[in-house]
């Protein structure tokens, strides 16, 4: 956004996130930062989409009736969208707020559905923005250590201003990811140490961010290649987590405090789980080829 070295930018983002978790009202600050970042990101992506002028009709047609089905690509996109921490982040935040039990089922459903809808719409709009650039004849550079395909697309769509806007979009995405990934990863520790205080958990989260920052500074893998590989790896991990959820829903009513999911939802969940295993099986070779490349 302001021509800083990405390593320095990453350090600044990490320091801001650490400041949030060290504040006295870390929970409130975290929620507000994530909300503002998401709003800014949505507005800037919409602007880039209008500027690029994508072929919307063809995009919708290929969405529902694709001419080519590539399981490695689908697995990578699904993994980048719902794999990793994202599946658990919202649920863990609701647990921390005390939104638990059957009596809060409506609130949980609304939170889950709105999160899925917002994420889906944002990613589709971003796809349209990139598609508009590619459809205009611009060739996106995907190779080389300094490859920045998304930034190049924004630059092609709206010139130098578009490139700066991409920096703002990336910063907003980075902040939500730093906060969400660190918060969710550390929140798993409460299952092994239920007496952990909020202060202790915030300190552990700060440590997690610091270690992640050191790893980011030391790793030399091109960022674009790393994102693709991590998305693919999350896509392989996703069916494992989903299988555990389905087992608990079907066989462990004691964990659900006697609550039973509707049968149609369970069947749909099992079919989805089978599909994710099938996609992962068909994608494993291509995804690990990305790592070797």
Query: Between the CA of residue 224 and those of 14, 142, 146, 257, 290, what are the distances in Å?
Result: 20, 8, 9, 44, 11
Instruction: Give the 3-state secondary structure of the chain.
Output: CCCCCHHHHHHHHHHHHHHHHHCCCHHHHHHHHHHHHHHHHHHHHHHHHHHHCCCHHHHHHHHHCCCCCCHHHHHHHHHHHHCCCHHHHHHHHHHHCCCCCHHHHHHHHHHHHHHHHHHHHHHHHHHHHHHHHHHCCCCCCCCCCCCCHHHHHHHHHHHHHHHHHHHHHHHHHHHHHHHHHHHHHHHHHHHCCCCCCHHHHHHHHHHHHHHHHHHHHHCCCCHHHHHHHHHHHHHHHHHHHHHHHHHHHHHCCCCCCCCCCCHHHHHHHHHHHHHHHHHHHHHHHHHHHHHHC
For residue 34, the model assigns a pLDDT of 76
Cα radius of gyration (the chain): 20
Residue 146 has pLDDT above 70, yes or no: no
Say yes or no to pLDDT of 293 above 60. Answer: no
Evaluate whether 155 touches 137 at the Cβ level (below 8 Å).
Answer: no
Q: Specify the number of domains making up the chain.
A: 1
Question: Does residue 90 lie in a domain region?
Answer: yes
Q: At what angle do helices 105-135 and 149-187 cross, to 10 degrees?
A: 160
| Residue 272 forms part of a structural domain | no
Distance CA 40, CA 175 (A): 12
Q: What pLDDT is attached to residue 149?
A: 74
Instruction: State the residue for tokens 């290649």.
Output: 225
The crossing angle, in degrees rounded to 10, of helices 149-187 and 6-22 is 30
Domain range spanning residue 63? 6-220
pTM of the full structure: 0.72
Residue 98 lies in a domain: yes
pLDDT digit string, tens, across residues 148-187: 777 777 888 778 887 888 888 888 878 888 888 888 888 8
286: pLDDT strictly greater than 80: no
Question: What local confidence, expressed as pLDDT, does residue 271 receive?
Answer: 94
Top-confidence residue, 281 or 14: 14
In a domain, 274, yes or no: no
For residue 211, the model assigns a pLDDT of 93
188 pLDDT above the threshold of 70:
yes
The per-residue pLDDT for range 214-271, each reduced to its tens digit, is 988 888 777 667 777 777 777 777 888 889 989 988 888 788 777 888 899 999 999 9
The Cα 109–Cα 103 span in angstroms is 12
Structural contact between residues 71 and 152, judged by C-beta atoms closer than 8 angstroms: no
239 located within any domain: no
User: Where is pLDDT greater, at 45 or 83?
Assistant: 45
Neighbours of 164 (CB within 10 A): 18
The verdict on residue 279 lying in a domain is: no
Instruction: Report how far residue 79's alpha carbon sits from residue 205's, in angstroms, rounded to the nearest whole number.
Output: 23
Task: Note the residue count of the chain.
Answer: 293
Gap between the Cα atoms of 65 and 125, Å rounded: 18
User: What integer pLDDT is reported at residue 288 of this predicted model?
Assistant: 64
Q: What is the dihedral of CA 49, 55, 61, 63, to 10 degrees?
A: -30
Both tokens of 237, joined, read 């991990």
Q: Residue 286 falls within a domain, yes or no? A: no
Q: Please indicate, yes or no, if residue 237 is contained in any of the structural domains.
A: no
């Amino acid at each position: 956004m302001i021509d800083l070295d990405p390593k320095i930018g990453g350090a600044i983002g990490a320091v801001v996130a650490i400041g949030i978790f060290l504040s006295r009202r870390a929970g409130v600050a975290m929620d507000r930062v994530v909300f503002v970042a998401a709003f800014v990101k949505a507005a800037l992506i919409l602007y880039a989409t209008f500027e690029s002028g994508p072929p919307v009709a063809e995009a919708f047609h290929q969405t529902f009736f694709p001419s080519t089905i590539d399981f490695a690509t689908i697995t990578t996109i699904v993994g980048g969208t719902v794999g990793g921490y994202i599946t658990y982040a919202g649920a863990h935040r609701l647990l921390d707020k005390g939104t638990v039990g059957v009596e809060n089922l409506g609130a949980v459903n609304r939170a889950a559905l709105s999160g899925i809808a917002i994420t889906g719409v944002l990613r589709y709009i971003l796809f349209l923005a990139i598609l508009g650039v590619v459809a205009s004849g611009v060739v996106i550079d995907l190779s080389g250590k300094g490859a920045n395909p998304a930034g190049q697309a924004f630059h092609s769509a709206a010139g130098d201003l578009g490139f700066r806007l991409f920096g703002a979009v990336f910063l907003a995405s980075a902040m939500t990811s730093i906060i969400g990934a660190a918060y969710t990863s550390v929140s798993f520790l409460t299952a092994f140490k239920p007496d952990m205080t909020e202060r202790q958990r915030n300190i552990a989260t700060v440590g997690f961010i610091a270690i992640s920052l050191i790893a980011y500074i030391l790793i030399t893998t091109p960022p674009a290649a790393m994102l693709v590989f991590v998305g693919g790896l999350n896509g392989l991990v996703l069916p494992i987590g989903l299988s555990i959820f389905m087992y608990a829903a079907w066989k462990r009513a004691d964990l659900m405090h006697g609550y039973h999911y509707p049968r149609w939802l369970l069947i749909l969940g099992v079919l989805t789980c089978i599909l994710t295993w099938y996609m992962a099986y068909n994608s494993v070779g291509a995804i690990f080829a990305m790592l070797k490349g």
